[in-house]
Amino acid sequence: MHHATSDMTSNDMTPQTGSSPAGWRLERHAHGRLDFVDAQGRRHANVDVLRAFPVSDPAGPAAIVAAEGGELAWVESLSGIAAPLRTILETELAQREFLPRIEQIEAVSDGEPAEWTVVTDRGPHRFKVAHADDFVAQPDGSAFVTDSYGMRYAIPSIAALDPRSRRLLERKG
């Protein structure tokens, strides 16, 4: 079993490793796979890192989940973890939480499901929103839209949208 303690460079075949105070560690291998090694040395391959409350508390707790779905570890706060492990967790969360940002709303059809035509930071998209509750405005002026397939889109600032986009949102709200 390999017990690396330093970060790997992009050309290094040594896993990037971060250890927790509880004795478990995560290893990211050169091919991107993330493994969890518990305090007893048992390896769980291909684990996922999930935020507990991605919308209401995005900086809050996270869980490390086995490939078959069981929770392996709970991280109460990323800010309280040593840099090597925090870097691995933050990188994994950023890759997992791909959130296109809506920059403009071109059209929203009436009725449910509503068809949205938008321009995101990744290009134009068209998707369906099943229910009005799938649009969630946040207290900070941002919002999230979840399409009928569960894909989430972020609106970083409703106020920063162009007037037409804001009018289309107001009709839906």
The answer, yes or no, to whether residue 103 has pLDDT greater than 90, is yes
Alpha-carbon gap, residue 141 to 118, rounded angstroms: 19
Q: Quick: pLDDT tens for 110-157.
A: 888 999 999 999 899 999 998 888 888 888 898 889 888 778 889 999
CA angle, corner 38, sides to 36 and 42, nearest 5? Answer: 90
pLDDT-derived band at 43 (thresholds 50, 70, 90) equals: very high
The answer, yes or no, to whether residue 51 has pLDDT greater than 80, is yes
Place of tokens 């009005």: 132
Domains of the chain, residue spans? 16-96, 102-172
pTM above 0.85, yes or no: no
Using alpha carbons, select from 157, 100, 121 the residue that is nearest to residue 166. Answer: 157
